Structure 1
Amino acid sequence: MTPDSDIIIIGGGPSGLSFAGALADSGLNITLIEKSPLEVLQNPPYDGREIALTHLSKEIMQRLGIWQRIPEHEIYPLRDAKVLNGRSDYQLHFPQPAYARGEPTDRLGYLISNHNIRKASYEAVADAKNITFICGEGVKQVKTNTEEAQVTLESGRTLTAKLLVAADSRFSQTRRQLGIASDMHDYGRTMFLCRMKHTLSNQHTAYECFHYGRTIALLPLEENLTNTVITVDSDRVSSIQNLSDQELAATVQQQLGNRLGDMELVSTRHAYPLAGVLAERFYGVRSALIGDAAVGMHPVTAHGFNLGLASADILAGLVTEAAQKGKNIASQELLSQYDSKHALHARSLYYGTNMLLKLFTNEAPPAKLLRGLVLRVSNNLPPLKKLITRQLTG
């Protein structure tokens, strides 16, 4: 029996849309299912999240026609990054590199609002003739076997395809129904995001401030506008929620030691409980996981979206090559190859991030001492800093 589609993608976030976009000229018939209404894909709301992008991610997004659709004035340069520990003024500094991916550069990477990426990702594939959108309807059940993949919608309608791709978040029900286990880590912390204006220039420098009891990340947008990320233990959520806008700005200003001068909250606030997930494997029978369904990262290393985009790019490349050669686009050999390629960086980043968090959120006296030592050692080992900078730039 002929399947309804060559590929069914579950999830219309940037990873799912990027994967679809990478196959827009492949000749394959693609169905993308997204639970949100079409209007949300067309005009995603501001959600407080600013996404740090590597130079590799920029290259991929340019190739997919996404980058060109983002307003130039809303693409912010990330020149360099600094890490602070506790009350110490000592900084681990990652300066702007001279080169990234073999080309001269004056920045570590870029910052773009999540809603702008989502909007541009949809616009890049909206008119593709080989992509069918099913929006405003969720998935009830998925099943795969050696012959086909089956997706049953909440309406009761059943669709079939040669390959099923899950891109439906780190809490993916598709992954669960495919029988793929995952390492789920609840960090017991909640992050609050908002934009703040300030009187002193941020110099387009990002800061990660591991203060005791509360972590603050500063992501520079305009010179006097910064995305402020405040992370606290989840049992202390009320200590942030109950503050007025003026009180919140004042407490951040005080914690930063007036580093950015007078501060003023100029956006809505958004709260997200923090959880990380790593799938045991990134594929099953006639199925694959991309984006957060494969790896959901803690945002401290700013690599979640970059990994998701890389996963879509890797899988799309393998599928395109197989289709061009008339081979099976859902073979176990192909999917195993995708798993190996994506796992090469994803697993080390996931576990490395968790180790970093475990150390820098531990406030026992020995851990505090070790935290300071780690910063100093990292700062004074050029090969290590170069390695980390290469990860940051992609």
Structure 2
Amino acid sequence: MGHSHAVPVSDHTYHEIEYQAVVTAIADHVGLGDCEVDERQMPRYVTATTEDGINIYLIVSPSDYRGTVNTICMETLITDTPTLLITPEDTVGDLLEIQSLFAGGHLIYTIPFTMLTEDDLITHHLAAIQSIEKLESDLTANRHSEETTPLITRLRSNPRYILTELNEMKLLRLNNEIASGKGTRLEKVAEAAFSHLFPTYPDAGGEDDVGEILPDTLFRISGIVPPKEYDTILGVVDTKSGATGNFGSEKTTGKHDVYLRRARRESVPADWIAHTFVVLGFDGQKEIDFHDDMYEAYDEYDGYLLILTADALGTILAAYLSFVVSNDLRLMQSDFRKAIYPLFHKPMFNSSPLSDITREVGRNEEEYDSEYKKRPELLIVTREVVLAQLERCLDMDGDIERILEGYYQPELFPPA
């Protein structure tokens, strides 16, 4: 004899979802305007671009949830577009962990489908993301050429990508992936690196000003307290994207002396002019001869020759971008710029152990070391020099650290 029981119809009822209607309703609900839905990635997700320039991703039923989120983050990074990511999960913790692996993660606002009722919160956060993105895009368009804009966009959306470029630039050159005579790439990367550290005048010279006698960029170090101990430095930067610095072929008269003279002629307020080169490598010991050819100009204009290797600049920026390292340095020095100041300031460099660190030249090392140390107007900053300076600072006792430690000390006389 058979058995029978009632089955709820709802358990076996399936509805076909009209994603155009769903996503349009979401966009309208949070004030993003009309949109066109693309369902080609179903059943993983559907996407839409609103008239306000924000992408919407609605995760549907992916077989690989993590892989789907990776794809969405990559697409956001490539398009550099503010994004609303809607997940069917009740929580977003795991999704945020995935986002943290991507530089473009800051462009994504993630929310569970069940939280779409919080429309004011969503609108507020999307507006904040969109505002800063528009500000950066407008500045990029105004200050950089169309040719360099894609590179600048990558650098600003992912500051750590600057480190990748600085570390890989020499390999790209040796592998002929950067055409001979094309130095714009290193110019822009170095400019981006300096702009994180100091006020920098962007897109001032270099290959953008063919025919003009202008350096690639300028940076200024000032305002470090106490001012009597920290001179103002104007950095006049020339980048050398060849595999070596090619100092043997650099024109001193009529070019580099003009850089220094122009700085003084225009009355740019600075105690020192750091005639700065960013290089991928060296050609023998030619920087010694270049320094000697420029010596009179350095003497006249209070200048000196500062040569930064690309990996040295990358190491400085890596320390700055690491909140662990930069915070420790601020605890010791109160200002990150104090920690790196001796790398850029001739008197401090020469009065410290940094001046005893010389680069490896192979043959005639002792002779080279001797000649280098005879020239106080020549500062060569390699990765080893940067690391030595950072280690010196981290070994110091910090005033700020002591002040903050005091906050956590038990009260001797607690209030009654």
TM-score normalised to structure 1 length: 0.24
Q: Which has the higher helix share?
A: 2
Structure of higher CA gyration radius: 2
TM-score normalised to structure 2 length: 0.23
